[in-house]
Structures are given as C-alpha cells and as structure tokens.
C-alpha cells in the first residue's frame, strides 16, 4: 500500500507527464507548420513516450492500492523563436522532470518504500537518456547554425524515429 504522500506525488507526476506530452505535441505542430516533418516526427514520437510514462504511473498506482486522478492540463506554448529554442525549452523541461522524479525518490527512500524506489529507478534511467538525446540535437543545431543543408539532413535523420513501447 502506498502512503498518501507518495500516492499524491505519483499522481502529480502522472499529470505532469501528460503535460510533457502536450508540450511535445505543440512543438510538433510548430515544426509541422515550418514543413520540418522529420523534426515534427521526433516531437510526436516524444509525445507518445510521455503518454507511456504517464500510463506506467497510472498502472503502478492501481497495482499498489492507489487511484489515478486526472487534473486539468495547462495549455502549452504555440510558437518558439526557432527550432533550436524549442529544443532548448525541451531540455529545460526535462531537467525539471528529472528534479521531480528525484523528489519522489527521496520521499520513497525516507519512507522505506522499496517497491516505489524500484519502480522509480526506471524513470531515473529514462531521464538520463531523455536529457542526453535532446542535448545531442541542440549540439547539432548549434554546430550547423540551423543552415538550410544541415537542417535538411537532420530533418531526414529525425524523421526515422519510431515509437516502440518499452517492456513494462
Ligand atoms: Fe517523461 O520524460 Fe520527458 O518529460
């Protein structure tokens, strides 16, 4: 059985993951509006990943005798100054998510809730990967200074990304 505190924190994070997905979908719409369909594809795959993260928390809450509660999702931004600015926003957002996962982990450790610790380890690893993959794209964008040719190549590369639900 989860403590009320951990149940609330996981619920809040589940809703935040949905919000993350919403931001990525808005970024996808921004990139589609620029006809950068590969960049948009990358964002839309990320949207699916975030919903998977939320779904995993939903299932965990149920498994541990808790209940998922859905809240209002704030509206994401519509536009960004540039493609690079959108990815920089994504990186800042992922750093916030990492901090939030760490906060839940700290409470689980304090409460000797080993099951939640084990559950959250997946998210700790996932955040390392999420931050690194966004950072790698920002580095490429900086290197090419968002030049036409570079953008064309990167758009092609990001267009190949597909969503595969990780094993639960
Ligand atoms: Fe769910 O990791 Fe991104 O936000």
Domain that holds residue 152: 4-69+78-159
**Could you tell me if 137 and 21 are in contact, meaning their C-beta atoms sit under 8 angstroms apart?**
no
Residue 168 lies in a domain: no
Confidence of residue 24 (pLDDT cuts 50, 70, 90): very high
- Alpha-carbon distance of 32 to 39, in angstroms, equals 8
Dump pLDDT digits (tens) for 60-99. 999 999 999 999 999 999 999 999 999 999 999 999 999 9
Q: What is the pLDDT of residue 35?
A: 97
Q: Is 88 in the pocket of ligand 1 (CB under 6 A)?
A: no
Residue 152 lies in a domain: yes
Q: What is the pLDDT of residue 1?
A: 86
Percent of the chain with pLDDT over 70: 99
Residue of 50, 73, 91 to mutate, ligand 1, most atoms within 8 A of C-beta: 50
Q: Is 17 in the pocket of ligand 1 (CB under 6 A)?
A: yes
Tokens linked to 165:
């639900």
Provide the whole-model pTM.
Answer: 0.96
- Alpha-carbon distance of 14 to 11, in angstroms, equals 5
Q: Please, what is the average pLDDT of the chain?
A: 97
Residue 164 lies in a domain: no
> Of 22-26, 33-37, 133-137, 144-148, where does mean pLDDT reach its minimum?
144-148
Dump pLDDT digits (tens) for 118-164. 999 999 999 999 999 999 999 999 999 888 899 999 999 999 999 99
Is the pLDDT score of 8 beyond 90? yes
Total number of domains constituting the chain:
1
Secondary structure in 3-state letters for the chain: CCCHHHHHHHHHHHHHHHHHHHHHHHHHHHHHHCCCHHHHHHHHHHHHHHHHHHHHHHHHHHHCCCCCCCCCCCCCCCCCCCHHHHHHHHHHHHHHHHHHHHHHHHHHHHCCCHHHHHHHHHHHHHHHHHHHHHHHHHHHHHHHCCCHHHHHHHHHHHCCCCCCCCCC
Residue 166 lies in a domain: no
Atom 3 in ligand 1: which residue has the minimum CA distance? 94
Q: Is 24 in the pocket of ligand 1 (CB under 6 A)?
A: no
Q: Is 2 in the pocket of ligand 1 (CB under 6 A)?
A: no
Q: Is 94 in the pocket of ligand 1 (CB under 6 A)?
A: yes
Q: Which of 30, 26, 31, 25 lies closest to 45 in space, CA to CA?
A: 25
Is the pLDDT score of 168 beyond 80? no
Q: What is the CATH number of the domain that holds 118?
A: 1.20.1260.10
């Amino acid at each position: 059985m989860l403590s009320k505190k951990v149940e609330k924190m996981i619920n809040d994070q589940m809703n935040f993951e949905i919000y993350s997905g919403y931001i990525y979908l808005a970024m996808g719409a921004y990139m589609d509006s620029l006809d950068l369909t590969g960049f948009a594809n990358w964002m839309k795959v990320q949207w699916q990943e975030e919903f998977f993260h939320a779904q995993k928390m939903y299932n965990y809450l149920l498994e541990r005798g808790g209940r998922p509660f859905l809240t209002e999702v704030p509206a994401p931004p519509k536009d960004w100054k540039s493609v690079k600015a959108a990815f920089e926003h994504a990186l800042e957002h992922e750093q916030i998510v990492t901090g939030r996962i760490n906060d839940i982990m700290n409470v689980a450790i304090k409460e000797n809730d080993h099951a939640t610790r084990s559950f959250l380890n997946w998210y700790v690893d996932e955040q390392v990967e999420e931050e690194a993959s966004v950072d790698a794209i920002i580095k490429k964008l900086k290197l090419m200074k968002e030049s036409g040719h570079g953008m064309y190549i990167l758009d092609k590369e990001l267009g190949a990304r597909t969503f595969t639900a990780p094993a639960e």
